[in-house]
Structure 1
Amino acid sequence: MDVRGDLSVDQQGTIVVRDGIGRLTPALAKVLFGRHGFVIQRPVYPDRAETFPLAVMRTGPPSDLPVLFIPGGPGMGSVLPYVGLRATATQHGLDAIMVEHRGVGLSRRDNRGRDLPLDAVTLEAAADDLAAVVQECGVKSVVAYGSSYGSHQAQVFAARHPELVAAMVLDSPLLSVEDDLAMVRAHRRRLLWDGDDPALIAVASAVQDLAATGISMAELSHAVEVVYEFAGPQVLLRLLRARRAGRQKQLWRQVSRLGVRQLEGRGVSGVMEPDLVAGIAYGQLGFGLPVDGEPLDPQLHFAEAAVRQPAFHGQPLDLPTQLAAFNRPLVVVSGDRDLRTPRPIAERAVSLAPDAVLVPLVNMGHSALDAHQSAAVHIAHALTVGAAHGLPAEAGRLSGLRRRGASHWLGHALNVATRLP
């Protein structure tokens, strides 16, 4: 599929194609959006009259309690990347709503065809967009399912519009920028550098052996994260040993550079567009916080791009305080191999909220919405029927469901590639 150009949608909901994009993507977008999509006009700035068309998808049988799925990023599209998720949700009878984030994909431009201004793309504005969509759909409230960055957006949405959120799912949650970073660093180093987990002693030793050769710590940190999350410790151990022996250099380069296009620039139209959301990523979520000089620092991945991005000026809300006041059902989903928002952050979220449960999924990294969509849909469905409290007992069964999502196939590819000479 050719996705090298630009897509947007006009006031009437017609797909607009610019910059010589290939034929298949706009045709597919038009089919997808034409069947289930609509637009609403939203203010570019809250205090000004100028508006832009915000694209929305709603699939499945209409209900009084839809599920509002909020993907990660920031910069991730909703229309093109989540066709499979919406199909699975429809099979399970879910009324699913997805909003193309302002500044991204079909919601990228204003009514004159101009990119939205960087300072108009904020967490607060995006949360208010969600509220407007829920009201447009004519329902009293929704189950807000947020994954990764989407979990942060879901919490801001719930804090600003509590009457619209009947229940919430935080899948691989973000809470507090500085606190989360400290927990991520400690977790990664405990498991994959210090070898405190007996099952990972050999992996941690191999990581240290490769680091001793003088390999770039930025490369090492990111490659370890990618392979461990998507393919697991045994695949990671094979790759580390192969790289130490001078083999698998091309695979190593590919893995260590995976996701670089998601950090800045135009990215991939309709799929991942980081440029207009940089004020959120770097200014509000601290993607560019300084490195600390210690091994396996996740900030090394962002360091080069961060010098060209907005400075961090803080989160708009104290989410731990907001979460403590959220007195409706809350489900926190956490993969046991998640190195980006690891289990300690999920456990903290559960400890803060008065009516929260943890659903621990095994053999999974970051974001069930991307890596295990069957489990994500089952969890969302449980909240629509008031069955949140039974989900922890179902965690083993949910983990064993057939895996769907692009992240799952990446794990298979890494497993095969690391077995080649």
Structure 2
Amino acid sequence: MKIRSDRRFGVRRVPRDDLDLAYVREGRTGATPLLAIPGGPGMGSVLPYRRLRRMAARRGFDVVMVEHRGVGFSRRDRLGADLPQERLTVSAAVEDLVAVLDACAIDRAVVYGTSYGGYLAQMLGATHPERVSAMVLDSTYASVGDFDRNRDHMRRLLWEGDDPGSQGVAAALRALVAAGKVTDEQVAIVVPLAYELGGVPLLTRLLAAVDGGRRRLWDRLAAMVEAELSGVRPYVLEFDLAGAINFREAYAQRPDGLPLDPALPYARVAARFPAFAGEPADLPAALPNFTWPVAVVSGARDLRSVRAVAERIRDLTPHGVLVPFDGMAHSLLDFHPAAALVVSRYTARGDLELLPALTGRLEALPGGRRAALVAALLRLSLTGSRRSSRL
């Protein structure tokens, strides 16, 4: 995709050394300021979230989103060259957020961060607490050690079958691996994705299809995840450059030789990026100093930020409340923006204690069908696979 001009997307700029950092703002000045930070590293802010910004403006927010450095409209310096990897750091990304708040004359904002964006939100709170009025931490983590907690949970659930509801699918997965019908890396890529999209029922049907020699859907899911790590979708997902932040400061997990290891696909691309050097701050030590309301959003099917991680963040913050969604997976912001904005409104008002009882109603709000639609399409594909050997 080649963008001839950024004017049509409402892109504004703020100077950051030799980078004209891109950001967008929508809504009425003087309304509740909302700084929304998407995941990644590598996820675009400008193009993928146009609908979210329109919804936020209609709901009384003055919403600001910063295009992550190394991505899309913030990928290149003024001479048109890609930013060098040494310029891509968590600290620089946090200071970008502050620079945009300054440019918008916003003293304090409700900060909504999802996934890696939630990590940045916490870093902002740790280094610039005066800029935060409230916070929503959606499907995120507080330290690189949380990835080991995620892996342990996924193995107990889908490999060992500790949960009675997952014993059958775990046994089916072990049988496929023992028969050599799937590789370890494919398992690490496809199984978590299928579970997040449709839970145990969808994963059960997918494994049965593969066992019967119908691999088309399995291979498509594997290719989709591999494309996120190795390919580039300009202005949408550009991990090829921004991944330097991930491997240097935000992700340290390595394959441990055991089954169902989400570190395997990352290990394959790690040589392209700097080695892990350490986290820029101790967030678990900083979280007890967060004096503002913190809503910790957690989807029951989220395997990238499991419920135990969300509960730990909640417990470390003095005013944290867990907001559990039984029918959601990773990132409420991405898969149900209408619900995410309601969570933001309650949190901004200081009424986040009311949210846990409302999550069922929030999931039923219009505009949250994306994940359900994808899962339905996958189920239809599997149904069709019984009639066609081409799947």
Normalising by the smaller structure, the TM-score range is: over 0.9
Root mean square deviation, CA, Å: 1.6
**Equivalent residue, structure 2, for 1:360:** 324
Gaps spanning 5+ residues in structure 2: where?
386-391
SS at match of 2:278: coil
Q: How does 1:7-406 map to 2 (within 5 A)?
A: 7=3, 17=4, 30-33=7-10, 37-43=11-17, 51-63=18-30, 65-177=32-144, 179-214=145-180, 215-247=182-214, 249-264=215-230, 267-286=232-251, 289-404=253-368
1:419, distance to aligned residue in structure 2 (A): 1.7
SS at match of 2:244: helix
Measure the CA separation in 2 of the matches of 1:374 and 1:203. 33
Gaps spanning 5+ residues in structure 1: where?
8-16, 18-25, 44-50
Measure the CA separation in 1 of the matches of 2:127 and 2:150. 28
**Equivalent residue, structure 1, for 2:388:** none
Measure the CA separation in 2 of the matches of 1:241 and 1:301. 24
When you count helix as a share of all residues, which structure comes out higher? 2
1:280, distance to aligned residue in structure 2 (A): 0.8
1:139, distance to aligned residue in structure 2 (A): 2.0
Do 2:33 and 2:62's aligned partners in 1 also have CA atoms closer than 8 Å? Answer: yes
Question: How many residues were matched structurally?
Answer: 384
Give 4+ residue runs of structure 1 displaced > 3 Å after superposition. 403-409
1:311, distance to aligned residue in structure 2 (A): 0.7
Measure the CA separation in 2 of the matches of 1:285 and 1:360. 25
SS at match of 1:232: helix
1:62, distance to aligned residue in structure 2 (A): 2.1
For residue 58 of structure 1, what is the amino acid of its counterpart?
R
Measure the CA separation in 1 of the matches of 2:283 and 2:125. 10
SS at match of 1:143: strand
Q: How does 1:405-416 map to 2 (within 5 A)?
A: 407-416=371-380
Measure the CA separation in 2 of the matches of 1:83 and 1:418. 33
Do 1:77 and 1:272's aligned partners in 2 also have CA atoms closer than 8 Å? Answer: yes
Of 365, 368, 382 in structure 2, the residue corresponding to residue 418 of structure 1 is 382
For residue 29 of structure 2, what is the amino acid of its counterpart?
P
**Equivalent residue, structure 2, for 1:23:** none
1:264, distance to aligned residue in structure 2 (A): 4.1
**TM-score after normalising by structure 2:** 0.94
SS at match of 1:359: strand
SS at match of 1:391: helix
Superposed CA deviations along residues 107-130 of structure 1, whole A, max 9, x for unmatched, are 111112221111111110110010
Deviates more, 1:353-362 or 1:278-287: 278-287
Do 2:202 and 2:375's aligned partners in 1 also have CA atoms closer than 8 Å? Answer: no
SS at match of 1:176: coil
In structure 2, the CA distance between the partners of 1:408 and 1:87, relative to structure 1 (3 Å rule), is farther
Measure the CA separation in 2 of the matches of 1:76 and 1:223. 21
In structure 2, the CA distance between the partners of 1:408 and 1:39, relative to structure 1 (3 Å rule), is farther
Do 1:375 and 1:399's aligned partners in 2 also have CA atoms closer than 8 Å? Answer: yes
Do 1:370 and 1:405's aligned partners in 2 also have CA atoms closer than 8 Å? Answer: no
Measure the CA separation in 1 of the matches of 2:101 and 2:343. 20
In structure 2, the CA distance between the partners of 1:402 and 1:231, relative to structure 1 (3 Å rule), is farther
SS at match of 2:272: coil
Do 1:84 and 1:405's aligned partners in 2 also have CA atoms closer than 8 Å? Answer: no
SS at match of 2:134: strand
